[in-house]
Structure 1
């Protein structure tokens, strides 16, 4: 039994989510192959070959994979899938874009957002915004699986020496055209991979308050900044800050929730954090039900004091 993991990358470096997906594949068992589809992506293939537990790296290097359009990558995976029992990808924006198309092309059911592996054909996934877990079994010849990366330990990024094999590129379907990409650059850690996250909610009151209160604390802690959907919808911060069911799923070592009430949709994105600290003036706020440490108080007084204490 061989498994195919679709690497997530930017043609220059391998994304950490791929290591977690390889970790999930190891739980299933079998020979793990990693597919790198891109353009000028030799460095990515080299990094993938070093991942512990990977038996082979397959590289499709062609100009029409430069933007990794989901339609073209799915067509490529369809042509390779016959040799595999499982096709896996991280449950990120990229993975959620590619794998449903792969499942449709193969005429199989997709198993989404897996958080546990019972056996080669049985998986655990959250339902009802993470309030329940479903154990699902698939009889499909090829299991198409997206992996919630926060639920699996990352495979080691060094120590492997897998052979790298070139594969023929699939057809350029021409269904989508890459126009441009706006990349947000920040000195802070990436939200999805940060060990410490400071998040703000509707309670911070405004965009100005969000930045004035939370940025100094995040800088002192070396933390990423996040937000609830309410804060994003109110325009306090951009959409890529959102943590929750419709945002990013995170599981840092420390999650500090400031002025966040704790709606189910937000809890679904951060309740697996190792330590949760909640600051809210409402003692009945649902966030306190999942918090390891809760502080009832005025965030406009508490957060500056906390920032000063950390310094």
Structure 2
């Protein structure tokens, strides 16, 4: 077994060219040029193609009807389609297979960052063949009338084709700027999840609620709230934060980030949330918020998004 990485057109062409009897192909989307090359290299062998055929895929130019027509013209090929197909693999002669993330399109073979595994373990290959046969039995054939219907559908740009253009110049992956909030609205911040162990260890306060009741001053309307990890740089941007303890959000505030001095770092605070406009709220359990995997965090910071904040406002009333 070994890894197959993109671009992998050369390896794919060699793989199908070495087929002696039967080729089984599973992929949602195909394009014409790779199929022409496949049929040329695999001439004289039996070929089975399983694909996805849905209106949105055709309209968005994900699925090329011309590729399906090319395959159907080949007398040694059979084509069927099945709904909700996302799997991609090819099997040669029940002796070798490739399972991959790539569709059989120009992008999948040459441009996209794809990865897969190639193996010749006969037991695993046989299991994959059985899986193919089960899918094939459930799949439907494509009639000429159906193909004409899909071919007549209007084509447009992919729904992803303009993504990112509103942000102007290209930005590095992972650095896509967030849409700015409306004027006067604080940016989204975090759920500040307090550690029970830290409060037990320090012993100054029983809980963050106890600490807030003693330290919050309604006259000044501001409180530096020390924090340790992850360390952040000073940022004057007002952000909405929620405060949590033992799996429940108990209040909300506006916060900016202030760097700690050397003495403050020595005392255990890497930086401070400068809290303003703090408000107590009806306790809201993490279980009722759309946190997903983030619910596992029992301490630290959980990034807020609009869905989480909307759910909090609804449940804290």
TM-score normalised by length of structure 1: 0.23
Q: Name which one, 1 or 2, has greater alpha-carbon Rg.
A: 2
